[in-house]
Amino acid sequence: MIRASHARAVVSRSALITNARLVAQRVAPAELAVVVKDDAYAHGITEVVSALSGAGFHRFGALDLTTAREVRERAPEAMVFAWVFGEGDDIATAISTHIDLGVSYPSMLERVADVARRIDRRARVHLKIDTGLHRAGVLAGGWPDFLQRAAELQNEGVIDVTGIWTHIAEASYDADSAAIRRFDDAIRRAHSVGLRPRLRHLAASAASFERADARYDMVRVGAFVYGIAPGDGIGPEQLGLTPALTLSTTVSAVETVHNRTIARIPVGQVNGLYSDAEGVVDVAIRNRRYPFVRVTRTEAHIDLSGSGATVGDDVYLFGDGTHGESSLQVWADAMGSIGEEIVIRLARAAEHVYVE
């Protein structure tokens, strides 16, 4: 990807590795699969996968098949799980490169089986039950038939049912408990048709950290590995996780406008900074915080209130706090958003620099 240099994303490999170790210790004996969708939450998939697989992490959640292929190139031996694919996707390559496929509908199961039959390879599939989130997955009513068909295809030798999985909201304890009960029931039914999937998985960041009963054999964790809060509730700081990415830019002009000293920075709406930053979040320059006063299409204006900042000074938007900047979580809370969304918007096209 060509990365413009309006901003710079400094990504700490040691923060990623330390976060992943903390999560892994917390969820053991369940296994950690690191979710690397959206270019590893805009941290840069190539470097993230290299750093983590070099540190001994061998399971990744990719979402789509293109991402899965990128992971496979960097981590030839890893388990790579992808769960979104459709008509135009190269399922044959995914099967022959041992990508584990999350299958959410009977029609997807048949497509995967057809391709596996055609190329004479067994597909590794994880069957998805909808336990209440209604974001893909087979509903309880259709689950017995789905399992029956999966068992037939497994007996035929075209698929291996290696997993059963679901996704939960992680928004309320009671709703998650209900989803866990439905998941247990779905697993029991799988056993009753002779399926013994090795990997049962349900939890993402929040539930995997908070609930032992949500961990099963594997957890799919994205946000916490990057040191990002997945939403309301428990955040990375409380858990001892470090934000892995610091986003900065430089002052491009300093001017007096209506008796105020304004610094212009080259990060605007086209770079993913929306006007909801005005007045609610700030940046750090020379270790002091200054607020956004205006966001235009191509730049933002910072109120310097008489400081000595000058053109070319580094401007830190969010990060691990080393330069006096806020955390991404502070930004997310102030803008009524979640960290993942903000970092993906703002860091995706930044120049990426990797440090130990």
User: Can you give the binding site for ligand PLP, defined by CB under 6 A?
Assistant: 35, 61, 167, 204-205, 220-223, 230
Query: Sheet of 314-318: strands edge to edge?
Result: 253-257, 260-265, 300-303, 288-295, 282-285, 314-318, 245-250, 8-12, 351-355
User: Which CB sits closer to ligand PLP, 61 or 319?
Assistant: 61
Question: Which residue, 167 or 189, is less far from ligand PLP as judged by CB?
Answer: 167
Q: Cβ closer to ligand PLP: 200 or 220?
A: 220
Contact 209, 157 (CB under 8 A): no
Smallest gap from Cβ 79 to ligand PLP, in A, equals: 14
Q: CA torsion sign, 34 to 212 to 135 to 128?
A: positive
We find the least distance from the C-beta atom of residue 228 to ligand PLP, in angstroms, to be 7
The CB-of-37 to ligand PLP minimum distance in angstroms stands at 6
Closer to ligand PLP by Cβ: residue 111 or 220:
220
Q: How far is the CB of 238 from ligand PLP (least distance, A)?
A: 15
Closest CB to ligand PLP among residues 122, 220: 220
Q: Which is nearer to ligand PLP, 6 or 128 (CB)?
A: 128
Q: CA 338, CA 317: separation in Å to the nearest integer?
A: 16
Q: What is the number of the residue whose Cβ is closest to ligand PLP?
A: 222
Spatial separation of the C-alpha atoms in residues 71 and 175, rounded to whole Å: 33
Q: At residue 146, what is the residue type?
A: F
Q: Which helix (H) or strand (E) holds 245?
A: strand 245-250
Least distance (Å) between residue 223 CB and ligand PLP: 3
Render 33-83 in DSSP notation, one character per residue.
EEE-HHHHHHT-HHHHHHHHHHTT--EEEEEEHHHHHHHHHH-TTSEEEEE
Q: Are 57 and 75 in contact (CB under 8 A)?
A: no
- From first CA to last CA, the distance across the chain in angstroms is 22
Query: Minimum distance from CB of 123 to ligand PLP (Å)?
Result: 19
CB 194 within 8 A of CB 171: no
Residue closer to ligand PLP by CB (options 153, 221) is: 221
Least distance to ligand PLP from the beta carbon of 99, Å? 15
